[in-house]
Each structure stands twice: as C-alpha cells, then as structure tokens.
Amino acid sequence: MRKVFVTGIGATSIGEHWDKSLRDLMIEAASRAIEDAGIQKNMIEAVFIGNMSSSILQGQEHLGSLFTTWFGIPGCAAFRSEAACASGGVAFHSAYLAVASGLYDCVIALGVEKMSDVTSRDLSSALIMADDQEYTAFVGATFVGLNALVYRTYMNKFNVKQEDIAFFSVHDHYYAINNPISQFKFEVSLEQVLTSPLIADPIRLLECAPTGDGAAALVLCSERKLKSIERREGIVEVLASSVATDILSLQDRDDITTLNATKVSMKSALRQAKIERKDIDVIELHDAFTILGVIHLEDMGFAKKGMGWRLVKEGEIALGGNIPTNLMGGLKAQGHPVGATGIYQIYDVILQLRNEAGRNQVDNAEIGLSQNVGGVGGTVTINIFKGVR
C-alpha cells in the first residue's frame, strides 16, 4: 500500500442553509478544497461522496454523476458511499483505498447532507433507518430513543449521574465559539443543559447534536502527485484508515454500553499507524449525544468501562488536558449534518495538525485521530493522521 496524503480541505459552514441546495453545498466544499490544495479540477480522478439520506430528504439518488455534472468534471469516477452517520468516514476510507492501491493519484472525499428541507418528524423517520426498519423502527423507536436506552443503562450499571455525562455538551459549546464554521457559537451552562426539554428520557435537547446542512471535502494525493500541487506546507499523511461493523441493533448485543465496532476499529487503526494511544495529540469523536462522547473514550481505550465520564469531569479532554477532544465544537456545537460529519471531523483534525486551529490550538499537535459512527455503533470508522513537517 502506498502512502496517502491529505493535501486540501474545504467546508461550508454548518447551519440551516435555506438558500443552498444539496448540489450547491457539494460544489462549495469541493471548490474550497481544490483551492486549498492548489490543484486544477481536471486533476481529480475520482470523487467519493458520503451521504446518508438524500433519497428520502431530497428524493435524489446518483449523487456521483450529479456532482461531476454540476462541478464540471464529466467523465470523472464518482459514487456515493453510505453507512448511516458514518457515511463521511467510509467515503474517506474509499478515497484512501483508491490512492493507496495505486489506481488513482488524486481524488476527493466529500461528505454532504441537507436536513433542513423536511419537517423534524419526517427527519426522525429518516434517521431511524440507521437501525433495523422491521424490528426497531417498527416499535416506534427514534434514534434519540435508542441512545437514551444506552444512556439509562450506563447510568444504572455504573452508578453515574447524568450531570457528569451532560457536561460533554458544555465542553463542545465552549470550543465552538472560536470555530468560524460552527452551527452554534455560544456557550451553554450545565444547568441549561440539564433543564432543557426532554426528547427521549433521559436525553435532553441540549445533549443532542443539532440537525443542519453542510458539506466538507478533502483532496487526497499520492506521494508522487505532491510535486504537481501548489500547496507545500500543512500536508498531512494518513497513517491509518479502518472500518468495522457491529451487530446492528442494541438488543441483539451482549453489552449495551459498549460499541464493539469502536474497539475493533481502534485496534486495527493503531496497528496500521504503528503508534500507541499515548501518541495521539488530538481527537475528534462522534458525540451525537453526550453519552456517546463518554462511551467512545472508553471504547477507544482511554478509560476503563464506566469511567469515561471522569476524563470529562477532570478536564482531561480540554485544551491542556491529556486527551484533547472535540476542540472545534464536536457534533453538538459545530454541527452534525449526518453524512458529512465524518469529513468535517477530519477537516478539524487537519486544522490542528496544520497549527491553524486558532484559540482552540493544541500545542505541537502532530498526530490526530477522528472517529465516526453510524447508527448506534453499527459502523465505526477511525482514521489517524500525522502532520508532515
């Protein structure tokens, strides 16, 4: 396998973009990414698009051809990858494999989602498709509801208070203030979080990632392509890219409080990258709900099962802590346009590795990790990056 480098990044801000269609978002992100890389459009050989629900939300399939048409690169290889909310992450994996295999030298990984076109009720119906339609959606479970089942089991099993988990939201909002593309740029207090309306007990509104629109894109190049691009600094090498699945539905798993796919994916990623956990300087994890933030830290091995909340409480995930996590606002405050999130997370990691994270910058960030989850852990993808000096 050849080395793969991320040479360009671009993204739209995340929010309710009433005036931008799905194709508008894709084109904006891709345009920024190629400009950032300093390449010409005609150098792109393939486009890997991550998107979860365009069929239901926009009535649109065939995003590959739609994109190459509207971006003006007809003939270019392009297709969509889907793994629910991990669609961005798996699209990246496809892009990585494309270049690592030697078949392509310059490709784009793009994630896009537009959630604001439909009512929240219909959106709920779309999101539950991340789980089993016949046996989970059938009983009226919502996606928040499934995570609530995990939350309640976790609190009960490990005797943890909700406030110690809910703090993850406060953390995210704090860092989002300094992130120009964040959907939300205001702080929230723990009290606000704990008194916000219940969505599916015990999960409260301010513990859930918002719905929004956005697209993010990355340019991936082979080593020999680097001499053809304008960008000279801030190139990032992909050290690892792994994908794992788990049993789709919670009730079929042995342990409801563990996302096994994270463990499998993490093990594979660390092995590929030939690094240890302690070598990781900055993390972007998939905290669609506060409880997931805590559980991912545990499943990635940074804390024992049932103790992840301590890392949050004791400031270990804050700037200056041992495991800086979600320092650009995470899913809760930066936003979570589901199929695009996986690419946004990598975008955030790369800003850190380029030393361009502004007030959220981790000192000497050299190695970064992104973790993107589909469904309630049905798919997890972990990617590890290294800044090239």
User: Bridge-partner residues for 109, per DSSP?
Assistant: 48, 218
Nearer to other proteins by Cβ, of 1 and 198: the residue is 198
Nearer to other proteins by Cβ, of 89 and 145: the residue is 145
Based on its alpha-carbon atoms, the radius of gyration of the chain, rounded to whole angstroms, reads: 19
Nearer to other proteins by Cβ, of 132 and 348: the residue is 132
Task: Identify the active-site residue in 85, 106, 208, 221.
Answer: 85
Closest CA to 109 of 35, 51, 176: 51
Per the CB < 8 A criterion, the answer to whether 36 and 229 are in contact is: no
CB of 211 vs other proteins, minimal distance in Å = 12
Distance from C-alpha of 93 to C-alpha of 95, rounded to nearest angstrom: 5
Decide if 336 is catalytic.
yes
Per the CB < 8 A criterion, the answer to whether 297 and 385 are in contact is: no
23, containing H or E segment: helix 22-37
Decide if 93 is catalytic.
no
What token pair was written down for 337?
């346009």
Q: Does 120 bind other proteins (CB under 8 A)?
A: yes
Q: Does 233 bind other proteins (CB under 8 A)?
A: no
Q: Which of residues 121-140 bind other proteins (CB under 8 A)?
A: 121-122, 124-125, 128, 133-140
Q: Does 142 bind other proteins (CB under 8 A)?
A: yes
Strands (DSSP E) contained in the chain are: 4-11, 46-50, 77-81, 106-114, 198-200, 203-204, 213-222, 236-245, 282-284, 367-374, 379-387
Q: Does 159 bind other proteins (CB under 8 A)?
A: no
Nearer to other proteins by Cβ, of 119 and 364: the residue is 119
What token pair was written down for 50?
């991550």
Q: Does 256 bind other proteins (CB under 8 A)?
A: yes
Q: Does 40 bind other proteins (CB under 8 A)?
A: no
Distance from C-alpha of 13 to C-alpha of 16, rounded to nearest angstrom: 10
User: Site for other proteins (CB under 8 A): which residue of 97, 100, 149, 388?
Assistant: 149
Q: Does 387 bind other proteins (CB under 8 A)?
A: no
Residues in binding contact with other proteins, number by CB under 8 A: 38
Residues with a catalytic annotation lie at 85, 336
Footprint of other proteins (CB under 8 A): 120-122, 124-125, 128, 133-142, 144-145, 148-150, 152-153, 156, 197-203, 247, 249-252, 254, 256
